[in-house]
Every structure is written in C-alpha cells, then in structure tokens.
Amino acid sequence: MAELNKQQAQHKDHLFLFYERWHNTPYRLGGQSLRGVDCSAFVQIAFDEVFKHPLPRTTDKQSDMGESIDYENREFGDLVFFKTGIKIRHVGIYIGDNSFMHASTSRGVIISRLDSPYWADAYWQTRRVL
C-alpha cells in the first residue's frame, strides 16, 4: 500500500475516532444508530461523517459506486464487498494492513482481516469511491 497523503492521514485519524464511538455497536438489520446498525448504514454514516462523501443506503447500490479496483491495488478508504450468501452482500471500509472496518452480523462493529478464511472466501470486489 502506498504511503498516505496528508488528507488521507487526517481521514484515517478521523475514521479511527469514529470507530471508537461505534466499536461494539450491535448489528441490527435496518439499524442506523448506536443502538444497532447494519453494514451498509455503518459505511454510509462513516463516509458522511468522516469523508463528507454521500453514499447510497444499501449494499446493492453502494456496490455500483465508483470504480472497480483490483484486490492487490486497494487503498485506505476503498469499499470492500463480500458475498456471504446466495443473495446476501456485505460491505466494509478498507483501512490498510489487509484489514477492514465493518458491522459484523455476529459481533457488531469491529475490524476484521481480509485474509481470514471466512472473509477471504467471501470476498467479491473492491470499489474506490473517493
């Protein structure tokens, strides 16, 4: 991964402050608050607050945003998407070091590794929207 420029470094700091507030918020399908949030709402709120960049509400619509990026070229702030079931999609924010921030259905808002067996198997695509 390339070194972060000044704006990216500021965004990373802000994203981790945002994460501290949301960490361990439980997953709730359709949720959009600290009482419960789903993956696409978490990403939408993070992009609005941290990057000042609006995103659609659903994973389906978010997966059409920006440009497709090869797995090995992903950068901080890219959206990473997964197919976790026949019609089930999941999204998170790539934060570098092969890790991403997301709202997990089983563990709430956490940071996970892309190279863990579950996520490596479910990986679908990366999109750059910034």
The CA distances from residue 119 to 12, 79, 104, in Å, are 22, 14, 11
Q: Which of 11, 14, 53, 90 is catalytic?
A: 90
CA separation for the pair 52, 22 (Å, rounded)? 18
Which amino acid, 28? R
Task: Given the residues 11, 14, 23, 39, select the one marked as catalytic.
Answer: 39
CA distances from 65 to 82, 127, 129 (A): 15, 7, 6
For residue 90, indicate whether it is catalytic: yes
CB burial of residue 109 (10 Å; 0-12, 13-18, 19+): buried
Please pick, among 11, 23, 53, 102, the residue that the annotation labels catalytic: 102
What one-character DSSP code corresponds to residue 9?
H
Alpha-carbon distance of 110 to 63, in angstroms, equals 21
Looking at the annotation, which residues are catalytic? 39, 90, 102
